[in-house]
Chain A
Amino acid sequence: MTEKLVVIGAGMASGRMLENLFELAPDAFDVTLFNAEPRGNYNRIMLSPVLSGEKSYEEIVTHDAAWYERHGVTCRFGERVTAIDRERKVVIAPNGEVPYDKLVLGTGSSAFIIPCPGHDLPGVVAFRDLEDTTAMLEASGAPGSKAVVIGGGLLGLEAAAALRLRGMEVTVLHLAGHLMERQLDESAGYLLQKDLEKRGITVLTRASTKAIQGEGKVEKVVLEDGTVLEADIVVMAVGIRPAVSVAADAGLEMGRAVKVDAQMRTSDPAIFAVGECVEFEGNLFGLVAPLYDQAKVLAKTLTGEADSFTPKELSTKLKVTGCDLFSAGDFAEGEGREDIVFRDPARGIYKRLVIEGDKLVGAVMYGDTADSNWFFGLIKDGTDVEEMRETLIFGPAFQGGAAVDPMAAVAALPADAEICGCNGVCKGQIVAAIEGGASSLADIKASTKASASCGTCTGLVEQVMAVTLGDGFEIPAAQNVCGCTDLSHEDVRRLIKAKELKSQPAVWQELGWTTPNGCHVCRPAINFYLLADWPLDYQDDPQSRFVNERNHANIQKDGTYSVMPRMWGGMTDANELRAIADAADKYGAAVKVTGGQRIDLLGVKKEDLPGIWYDLNEAGMVSGHAYSKGLRTVKTCVGSDWCRFGTQDSTGLGIKLEKKLWGSWTPHKVKLAVSGCPRNCAEATCKDVGIICVDSGYQVGVGGAAGMDVKETERLVDVKTEEEAIEWTTAFIQLYRENAKYLDRPYKWVAKVGLDWVKETLADPAERTALNERFEISQSVYRKDPWADHARPEKAKSFQLVADLTQEAAE
């Protein structure tokens, strides 16, 4: 006997279920299909190429009228079901009721709309169906029209790329730090962003939407940070939520969606559900693969065959022409997990495999996805990869063979293989130069220009030399930054500037880091180089800092912290001292006068830090940065105001210098002193910069030390005026910031580059001015009190006692 089957929703899941059902039992059911959209089943995931014009709607229709007719399906399209009467077993819709023996819910999901002001203005659209697509196409019609896409996930990016291809000016707003953060790690997210930016799409990460504004329609989007973006259309692609109101009203058992068992049965034995409206064992489903699995199981359940749905590993692909990415499994970092990373900066390739206990558990790939299905299979099947671990990243083609010898690969390169992309130098030219007598990398650089520009091919050039010269050439052991890279600090600094790398993922990818996201050694260094070179573009990353810098206080041996307020030039007054005394009382701190003429409060508990900072801020005091790789203190003597021997206002100059330089990050700590006469009471001759005032002006010395090493400063310059002394000091510090290796104090750096070079560079007035200007640009960002920032209640929370291991990355 033919049963009455009613299906609510003609989406991809229910459509596949019907296909399976008609194959299993062509005549078992009399099917009525409701769909709120005025059309049948189409391949919804291909809407983005329809939007871009790379597909036509007709191509993505899965079931047309003839198909429904052939299978005897009664179509009730454009009719939204209003209720289910489970007692009478009928579905209620505007054009009349339909009785059922069995009912399938395939109501899918709807877009989540951020409930910000203006979200209901005309011109705010989701990207779920053909109507949305049509609305976007309409908006793209006017030349120069602008789109803002909120959400940098799969759907948002596909919409953005499509609208760009249609000719719109497109900006993508994404709340997280990198695109598609659920599917990609930072490195792959960086490459994706770069690819999209190449297409003229503007990507703003960490962008939070505050409001959408306009008179009667969308005109602009306002972000939390005050940025205003013009918009003719706003596409909300921040997520989906199951569309389950009919099911909930009918009293079916609900979680976040309609709860089903492994046979896709709801709490009512006559009602089944499939697709995005389903919750199974606490999981919701958004990608098509599990929906098709569910469809197969449900078709069998309906025909009385046994089958069970089991969620499987999922993989992700993005449908933007020219962007090849793949992501599967779990690639979060964790205990016992090992990463294998392959990068090819020149070709924009990044591959990362995550292995846990001899099994591949995750894979992220960008630019080369040829082996993605093979890797996905290894993840799904839980294959033991121990035997092929060494060559795993090279894919199936390398399995079963000998381990890859990079030297063999270089030896096998033909003579016309390009070695240095920057200068177009082939292997043959390098070999010819070697045969012509070149025996060192410097010789090769001089004669062929290979590796003379960006330097990323240096390793390859050295390998060519080793292959050609045999034992006659030993590849020099480079002083690399850390195990993540073969490049030296100097190379990294140079390349950050030359290649305009402005984020850590950009450095990792473009310089071929061998780890997914650096380590505790390189991250603080790279973080410093980036903020020093690109102060306006790069955002300081607290996770790449040592604990003292992150907490803006020095941790002591008992786990408490020391707090040291700034006293400009070592001057203080009664009010400040009272505030310090009160704070010491309130927080039970010990009080110590430091070698740098400051007062240190010792023994402050971590959770009290925001409180003590707030109190000291209230008294007008700011952080003394006693914990930072940055300007520490400027020590002064009392100078000509008080001292009988004083030649100049050393205290005044110290205060001016400290007020100019405070807050700036430097490769290592920087201590200054100004002495009012050659008697040198401020001990300026053992500081990083020490100024001795004399009758004729100021003697500026640099590169002193009084720690593990003791060293007298060397004279940088003698100047007549205070302004010149400040200009030279600032220029020196900026030169140090721009050139030194991270964790080299100025005396070490000066020893490496030579005082003569420093003097020569700074002797050029134009260069000094430029250095001073660049320092000021940087200070426009960093000359601010971190205490004031962290004493805000929302930041202060992070100082409460919560164990958060991920925060300890840079220890």
Chain B
Amino acid sequence: MSAMAAQLKVIPGGRSSPMQQKGDDIMDVAVNTPVKTFIQVAEIWVPEGETLVHGGGSYGELAAFEEASRRESFAKGEGLPGKAWAEARPVVLKGFDGSYFKRIEVATEAGLTSAVAVPVFAGKTLKAVLVVLCGDDENRTGAIEVWKEAEGLLMLDDGYYGAAKHFEWVSQHTHFPAGQGLPGGVWASETPILMRDLGSGYRFIRADSAGKAGLTTGLGVPIPVPGAAPYVLTLLSARGTPIARRFELWDARAAKVGKSGGAALVDGICAREGALWDPENAGKERRAEAWQGSIGKVLGSGLPVVESGKPGLAAGYGSMVALPLYHGTELSHIVAWYV
């Protein structure tokens, strides 16, 4: 009870409306000062004939790694992106030494030690592979998990947790029935879900351990692949080394936004702007149209977008990743995260 009471108390010094006020003091997404982030590099690989070529990325200050990456390309089955394509599944790679990872030398120089590749399929067609890279560090905490159905339950396929070793162990020994917890909820509803305050007062299924690891916000997305049940990808963000300080969840289904296209911002939370959803629940969500802004770029191209150092990103953030989610061949949702 004590944890809940602390969690649910009205925090003084608030805002005039949920959409306008700064949320630094009320949001657990992240603090607003520059901090180390959990994910250091995000990059897009797009198929061009039989190879995957560089389709943009955000590398922060890791210029040498960026330069090497921009020159790179992968055949199907080659390197991490090629493996995600060939095996049609998200791939977690922890430790590059002696692995199939192609850019070991430059990655090691940049301090990068682990990576996760997420293929984006529209039906049977590969649209792109999103790769995120992280560096090991005693203080870098977060989680990127891949969940897979086995015998009617969701089991952890693999995950990268940084310093959250106990939470990693708990997750390896946890399974989710349909509808339960963030992975089970995403799996059953076939919809991305953004959860708040994973580890504090709320009874997130792995809450105790999540709380100790400082994990606060969780984004879960379905990752459909040809010929198998969808995987569920979860990004669990910690206060100290956030995956993002702003999460957005856009609904682009024709059944929701109409046949004319576009997308509606159905959920979101931002360290700078607070809650991003429509408090009136009246269908007056923010809209994005094809080719207008970064989300519009995803809508228009159907591809993931990674942008950095560009003016005009939401709430003045420095970089963003937007990942399209497909249902069959239809673009159904876009999730975006900003740091």
Please report A residues at the B interface, Cβ cutoff 8 Å.
39-40, 43, 45-46, 52-62, 64-67, 70, 130, 134, 137-138, 140-141, 143, 161, 164-167, 198-201, 317, 319, 321-324, 347, 349, 367-373, 395-397
Q: With A43-B279, A67-B14 in contact, do A397 and B258 touch (Cβ < 8 Å)? A: yes
Whether, in the assembled complex, B110 has its beta carbon less than 8 Å from a beta carbon of chain A, the answer is no
Within the assembled complex, what's the spacing in Å between the Cα atoms of A324 and B197?
Answer: 25
| B95-119 near A? 1/0 per residue, CB < 8 Å | 0000000000000000000000000
A371→B180 contact, CB < 8 A: no
Q: With A53-B204, A130-B8, A164-B179 in contact, do A45 and B281 touch (Cβ < 8 Å)? A: yes
Within the assembled complex, what's the spacing in Å between the Cα atoms of A317 and B282?
Answer: 9
Q: In this complex, what residue of A is CB-closest to B328?
A: A418
Whether, in the assembled complex, B254 has its beta carbon less than 8 Å from a beta carbon of chain A, the answer is yes
Whether, in the assembled complex, B201 has its beta carbon less than 8 Å from a beta carbon of chain A, the answer is yes
Interface pairs (28), CB distance under 8 Å: A46-B281, A53-B204, A54-B193, A54-B194, A54-B195, A54-B196, A54-B267, A55-B275, A55-B277, A59-B26, A60-B279, A64-B12, A66-B12, A134-B4, A198-B178, A198-B179, A200-B178, A317-B281, A322-B191, A347-B255, A368-B255, A369-B255, A370-B253, A370-B255, A370-B258, A370-B259, A395-B259, A397-B260
For the complex formed, measure the closest distance between the CB of B232 and the CB atoms of chain A, giving whole angstroms: 13
For the complex formed, measure the closest distance between the CB of B74 and the CB atoms of chain A, giving whole angstroms: 26
For the complex formed, measure the closest distance between the CB of B258 and the CB atoms of chain A, giving whole angstroms: 4
Picked from B27, B179, B260, B277, the residue with its CB within 8 Å of the CB of A165 is B179
Picked from A53, A62, A66, A198, the residue with its CB within 8 Å of the CB of B18 is A62
Chain B residues touching A, majority SS: loop
Chain A residues within an 8 Å CB radius of B256: 324, 369-370
Q: With A54-B196, A165-B179 in contact, do A397 and B185 touch (Cβ < 8 Å)? A: no
A66→B13 contact, CB < 8 A: yes
Chain B residues within an 8 Å CB radius of A140: 203
Whether, in the assembled complex, B177 has its beta carbon less than 8 Å from a beta carbon of chain A, the answer is yes
Q: With A166-B203, A319-B281, A321-B185 in contact, do A39 and B10 touch (Cβ < 8 Å)? A: yes
B283→A373 contact, CB < 8 A: yes
Q: With A64-B15, A165-B179, A198-B179 in contact, do A141 and B255 touch (Cβ < 8 Å)? A: no
Whether, in the assembled complex, B189 has its beta carbon less than 8 Å from a beta carbon of chain A, the answer is yes
For the complex formed, measure the closest distance between the CB of A350 and the CB atoms of chain B, giving whole angstroms: 12
Within the assembled complex, what's the spacing in Å between the Cα atoms of A52 and B267?
Answer: 14
B8→A57 contact, CB < 8 A: yes
Chain B residues within an 8 Å CB radius of A66: 12-16
Within the assembled complex, what's the spacing in Å between the Cα atoms of A369 and B253?
Answer: 10
| B66-102 near A? 1/0 per residue, CB < 8 Å | 0000000000000000000000000000000000000
B178→A199 contact, CB < 8 A: yes
Picked from A53, A166, A395, the residue with its CB within 8 Å of the CB of B258 is A395
Picked from B28, B188, B203, the residue with its CB within 8 Å of the CB of A56 is B28
Q: In this complex, what residue of B is CB-closest to A19?
A: B17
Chain B residues within an 8 Å CB radius of A45: 281
Size band of the B side of the interface? 35 or more
Please report B residues at the A interface, Cβ cutoff 8 Å.
1, 4-5, 7-8, 10-16, 18, 26-28, 177-181, 184-185, 188-191, 193-198, 201-205, 253-260, 267, 269, 274-275, 277, 279, 281, 283
Q: In this complex, what residue of A is CB-closest to B7?
A: A57
Chain B residues within an 8 Å CB radius of A138: 1, 4
A61→B178 contact, CB < 8 A: no
B180→A164 contact, CB < 8 A: yes
B275→A167 contact, CB < 8 A: no
Chain B residues within an 8 Å CB radius of A396: 258
Residue among A54, A140, A161, A323 with max Cβ neighbours from chain B (10 Å): A54
B27→A58 contact, CB < 8 A: yes
For the complex formed, measure the closest distance between the CB of A342 and the CB atoms of chain B, giving whole angstroms: 12
Known: A53-B202, A137-B203. 4 other contacts (CB 8 A): A54-B194, A62-B279, A137-B202, A199-B189
Within the assembled complex, what's the spacing in Å between the Cα atoms of A368 and B259?
Answer: 11
For the complex formed, measure the closest distance between the CB of A605 and the CB atoms of chain B, giving whole angstroms: 54
Q: With A46-B281, A370-B258, A370-B259 in contact, do A322 and B190 touch (Cβ < 8 Å)? A: yes
Q: In this complex, what residue of A is CB-closest to B201?
A: A137
Within the assembled complex, what's the spacing in Å between the Cα atoms of A134 and B258?
Answer: 37
Within the assembled complex, what's the spacing in Å between the Cα atoms of A42 and B27?
Answer: 17
Chain B residues within an 8 Å CB radius of A64: 10-15
Picked from B4, B18, B28, the residue with its CB within 8 Å of the CB of A61 is B18
For the complex formed, measure the closest distance between the CB of A343 and the CB atoms of chain B, giving whole angstroms: 14
Within the assembled complex, what's the spacing in Å between the Cα atoms of A646 and B3?
Answer: 87
Within the assembled complex, what's the spacing in Å between the Cα atoms of A65 and B10?
Answer: 8
Picked from A56, A167, A321, A324, the residue with its CB within 8 Å of the CB of B196 is A56
Picked from A65, A137, A198, A371, the residue with its CB within 8 Å of the CB of B14 is A65
Within the assembled complex, what's the spacing in Å between the Cα atoms of A283 and B281?
Answer: 24
A201→B179 contact, CB < 8 A: yes
Within the assembled complex, what's the spacing in Å between the Cα atoms of A56 and B311?
Answer: 30
Within the assembled complex, what's the spacing in Å between the Cα atoms of A560 and B258?
Answer: 57
Chain A residues within an 8 Å CB radius of B283: 372-373
B258→A371 contact, CB < 8 A: yes
Q: With A199-B188, A367-B255 in contact, do A40 and B180 touch (Cβ < 8 Å)? A: no
Chain B residues within an 8 Å CB radius of A167: 180-181, 203, 205
Chain A residues within an 8 Å CB radius of B188: 198-200, 322
Q: In this complex, what residue of A is CB-closest to B216?
A: A56
Within the assembled complex, what's the spacing in Å between the Cα atoms of A201 and B184?
Answer: 12
Q: With A166-B203, A167-B181, A319-B281 in contact, do A61 and B14 touch (Cβ < 8 Å)? A: yes
Q: With A321-B191, A368-B255 in contact, do A58 and B205 touch (Cβ < 8 Å)? A: no
B258→A141 contact, CB < 8 A: no
For the complex formed, measure the closest distance between the CB of B176 and the CB atoms of chain A, giving whole angstroms: 8
Within the assembled complex, what's the spacing in Å between the Cα atoms of A575 and B29?
Answer: 84
Within the assembled complex, what's the spacing in Å between the Cα atoms of A319 and B1?
Answer: 26
Chain A residues within an 8 Å CB radius of B26: 58-59
